[in-house]
Structure 1
């Protein structure tokens, strides 16, 4: 069984690969792009030996005195470097200073003219 280069194995709610459903375990087109964007946002740069540029340099960006414009630039660049992303439509951040929870939402358009939103949640 082979898959095309635009498909990815679907992830379950725990972010583990899914198995046992044949081709139904693979996401294609817009769903594939959305999963790749989300996975890149969850990833740290220099963490995947096959592509050291994959992900976001979270450790560098999230220290003391966060440079929010640099963070936004890095996150947007990460999304735009994802195969299949045509443009970013909207970007927003929300920081709860009491809980130190950061939520980033990015709305983008893909090469299939679909608009999707991905969310990153972390702590600063």
Structure 2
């Protein structure tokens, strides 16, 4: 009878850990997606092309295409609307991928189907 409370406590701790990690992964993924949408909106404002896809590969190629065409007065707008959110998105992606690759967190990511970005 003495082991039942120990097992219940251990099970509760594991369940709480799983819930916290899942919420953390979901928040990182949501933050990354929101930052990509901000960057895509900023690029749409700076360029004549209104349809900028919100994925990182397309945004990088679009930035390389648009940045040389910018006028000097548009560079400050580029810094605030595109460069800063893009750097934050890259940092968030790095943190997300590092979190998924660590051992206890990788089990939770595998259970809930989270994959590297």
| TM-score after normalising by structure 2 | 0.31
Q: Report the structure number with the largest CA radius of gyration.
A: 2
Greater helix fraction, Structure 1 or Structure 2: 2
- Tell which has more relative contact order, 1 or 2 (C-alpha 8 A, sep 6+): 2
Greater strand fraction, Structure 1 or Structure 2: 1
